[in-house]
Structure 1
């Protein structure tokens, strides 16, 4: 299945071809020039989608979006929310990325984000009680990015993938479909409370992550600002 970013580029290419057909007579541009350019772009996108799972398109679109400071800031606040709440809930963090290019270099899919070391979570991960506790913790962490954006900007633009992860986890645990909204709201409230109670640590973490500070140093910074 094609990634949404690839489909968006194809749609833009078709729109560009249609628009060029209308404008070329006005500006006396040979019709072959915009047509060749459009088909060339669509060809590259198709090759990228089939051969590289759309990674090139993702990197390009993210690179273009990264030119906007508001886009970079939102990603930073979003991922810092994931990082801090994961730390507070005892979920080990293996690393983080803030751009698609950084994610690609580290072998991470899509736009990247915060990566977790799930092997260290529980000595008995198959115990029912442990599984439920782990699910609750991860639901809270997944909603922490949206919670952070909402607290800072009043609304969230990212988080679609996070919601999908929560939904898939509930489905894996054979929870009722109707439980998704309730669980999402509960997890969002938990994350917001944790962020508000540790706002100084959150703000310090944002600055540290912007400078690509190591996970270990981010841990120490949070500990310096932690309020139990």
Structure 2
């Protein structure tokens, strides 16, 4: 399947806008993710914290200077988190709370990451690990400001990037994998909430490579079209993979699910 898409590369580049319309893909919704779920949870937590503070101040008969001191201390901690961790502690709290407030949130994240995982495998990039929550990322890697993600065996790609000489085929693979998460959400929900970091990373890479805006747009449109085509073709496998990742199955089991699902496919 990937070889077929690569062979069609020149044709698709010249008519990609028409192809996107024929496939009913609205690039504006695809490439402008807005994480409304986390925004709502963040607002809810802020309101709850303020209400709790007010209730405590009345119940415990705090003086005005005590309330101001608590507000000032809280503001200081938030600013310190932004400076030291780029808001990582806040992101961890909000992401964890979202899983209790919105039961669909965890499922959306699993679908999103399964999109990255499956697309990487289909284009020849072997996944080696994944996590589906900020808390999981912190426990396993001691890192903050990571909502979820997949890791791949991409040493060759990283060496190409470091050398500044990136093959066209490598860029095409990277673009498809980077956009697979937002592609998944677009397919299932009609719009993407997560994935803004993926889009920004791809945009940053193309800027670093010196791409003009026109050339970058062409690469992104090609990746959008073909990533959606890959995921639509293997939607059943993707669903089973997302379920497995949601359960926390090891990478080897996730790969087995993909391979079993591809056995009956005439065109992988």
When normalised by structure 1's length, the TM-score is 0.80
Aligned position for 1:79: 113
Out of 195-204 and 98-107, give the one that drifted further: 98-107
The question of whether the paired residues in 1 share the 8 Å contact of 2:182 and 2:192 is answered with: yes
How many Å apart are 1:144 and its aligned residue? 0.6
Deviation at 1:85, TM superposition (A): 0.2
Structure 2: where are the runs of 5+ without partners? 1-37
What per-residue deviation string (whole Å, max 9, x for no partner) do you get for residues 147-168 of structure 1? Answer: 1001111111112111111111
Alignment of 1:80-159 (within 5 A): 80-107=114-141, 108=143, 109-119=145-155, 131-159=167-195
Deviations 1:151-206 (A, max 9, x none): 11111111211111111111122110233333222211111111111111101101
Deviation at 1:42, TM superposition (A): 1.4
Query: What SS class does the counterpart of residue 213 from structure 2 fall into?
Result: coil
Counterpart secondary structure, 1:106: helix
CA distance in 2, matches of 1:124, 1:96: 23
Distance, in Å, in 1 between the alignment partners of 2:217 and 2:157 is 26
Residues 96 and 122 of structure 1: CA distance in aligned 2, closer, same or farther (over 3 Å):
closer
Q: Which residue of 2 aligns with 1:208?
A: 244
TM-fit CA distance, 1:211:
0.7
Instruction: Indicate which of 51, 56, 63 corresponds to 2:96.
Output: 63
* RMSD after superposition: 3.3
Residue by residue over 1:89-140, the C-alpha shift from the partner in whole angstroms, topping out at 9 and shown as x without a partner, is 1112121111111112233552131112211559988696x62111110101
Contact 2:113-2:148 at 8 Å conserved across structures:
no
Change (3 A) 1:143 1:123: closer
CA distance in 1 between counterparts of 2:105 and 2:185 reads 12
Distance 1:31 1:70, change over 3 A: farther
Structure 2 counterpart of 1:168: 204
Alignment equivalent of 1:47, drawn from 58, 77, 80: 80
SS in 2 for 1:111: coil
2:217 to 171, 174, 181: 181
- Rounded Cα–Cα distance in structure 2 between residues aligned with 1:82 and 1:61: 23
Shift in alpha-carbon separation, 1:102–1:153, aligned structure 2, 3 A = same
Number of aligned residues: 213
3-state SS in 1 of match to 2:128 = strand
Maintained 8 Å contact 2:231/2:238: yes
**Distance (Å, rounded) in 2 between the aligned partners of 1:35 and 1:124:** 54
- Listed as ranges, the gaps of 5+ residues in structure 1 are none
Q: How does 1:187-206 map to 2 (within 5 A)?
A: 187-206=223-242
